[in-house]
Amino acid sequence: MRSLILTTATRYLLPLMLLFSVFLLFRGHHDPGGGFIGGLVASAAFALYGFAYGMPEARRVLLFDPLKLIGVGLLTAVSSGLIAPIVLGRPFMTSIWGHTEFAALGKLGTPLMFDIGVYTTVIGVTMLIMLTLAEEDGDQGEETI
């Protein structure tokens, strides 16, 4: 049974929560926040959408397979600490900052790249857990009928 209030509220909350998660992501390399908490907020937005419209619809809105998100996120995080420092002859996980400062973001560098990898990985892992549990719950419900 779908709730009219939940579906209507979710239609407005999903973009706001995703925008807030991106804000937390970009804020994280200067102030508290970052990829982990931003990824959790984004996952909560997709989970709320799944509760309102069903998990198959949430999987469709996610656009990417959660396993692919996990792989891309891990690759991004590891490469931020490995490739850039090795090319410049510095130790593993050394922060490398750009010279250009952007108005809303500040200076960009490898810490932001690492946070983006963590952000993507957290979304992938939590959505994989949510979707797997929802599918198992749906399978059990059909067996008892």
CA–CA dist 33, 21 (Å, integer) = 9
Q: How far apart are the first and last CA of the chain?
A: 17
Q: For residue range 87-129, what is the model confidence (pLDDT) as tens digits? A: 888 888 888 887 787 777 777 888 888 999 999 999 999 999 9
pLDDT of res. 103: 77
Which residues neighbour 32 within 8 Å (Cβ) at sequence distance 6 or greater? none
Mean pLDDT value of segment 37-51: 95
Provide the residue type at 61 as one letter: V
Task: Provide φ and ψ at 75, rounded to 5°.
Answer: -65, -40
pLDDT of res. 40: 96
pLDDT of res. 144: 38
CB contact at 8 A, 26 and 119 = no
Task: Provide φ and ψ at 76, rounded to 5°.
Answer: -65, -45
pTM score, whole prediction: 0.85
Structure tokens at 125: 């892992």
Higher pLDDT, 29 or 62: 62
CA–CA dist 57, 75 (Å, integer) = 28
Q: At 142, is the pLDDT very low, low, confident or very high (cuts 50, 70, 90)?
A: very low
Domain that holds residue 118: 4-144
Alpha-carbon 142 to chain mean position: 31
Residues in the chain: 145
Count of domains forming the chain: 1
Give the CA-trace dihedral at 26, 22, 71, 78, to 10 degrees. Answer: 10
Q: For residue range 9-31, what is the model confidence (pLDDT) as tens digits? A: 999 999 999 999 999 998 876 67
